Amino acid sequence: MKKQNFFERISTQITCWTGSSWAFTLAFVTIILWGVSGPIFHFSDTWQLVINTGTTIVTFLMVFLIQKTQNKDSKAMQLKLNELLAASRHASNRMVDIEDLTESELDTIRRYYQKLSDVAEQDDDIHKSHSIDSAEKLAEKKKQAP
């Protein structure tokens, strides 16, 4: 395994920590302390600015950390699904790496699978497989039929 770079290590640790109950408790206590300190600071503009600035900075940074983690998780999930498709004897290998298609192309494939679903619902045999390849073979047979 290749060693993770500094940003990846830190982002993984921070994302794990911020998802913990300790992080929630710390955030909750911070808000309570800020609220309780309101009368001490006479609910001044500076008092409000402190919490607004703090939460804005934390939110801004967390967006990038969460996105980094989501990208990594999504890539790992796609690779796992690709492996399952490649290993399955009955699955169509055409589905490997479809995440690189355009939104329009994905919509076209989704409509196709919706049609396959409709055909499968009409079938009496629940074990009968419908795939892109079997649909193409069936279409070819229909073209050749007299």
Separation between Cα atoms, residue 146 and residue 139, nearest integer Å = 13
Residue 46, amino acid: T
Residue 50, amino acid: V
Domain spans, the chain? 1-98, 101-146
pLDDT at residue 58, as a whole number = 94
Residue-wise pLDDT tens digits, 44-89: 999 999 999 999 999 999 999 989 888 888 989 988 888 888 887 7
Max CA separation in the chain (angstroms): 91
pLDDT at residue 37, as a whole number = 96
Contact predicate 116/135, CB 8 Å: yes
Residue-wise pLDDT tens digits, 78-136: 888 888 888 877 777 777 778 888 999 889 888 888 887 777 676 666 566 666 666 66
Q: Which residues contact 2 (CB under 8 A, 6 or more apart)?
A: none
pTM of the model: 0.61
pLDDT at residue 53, as a whole number = 97
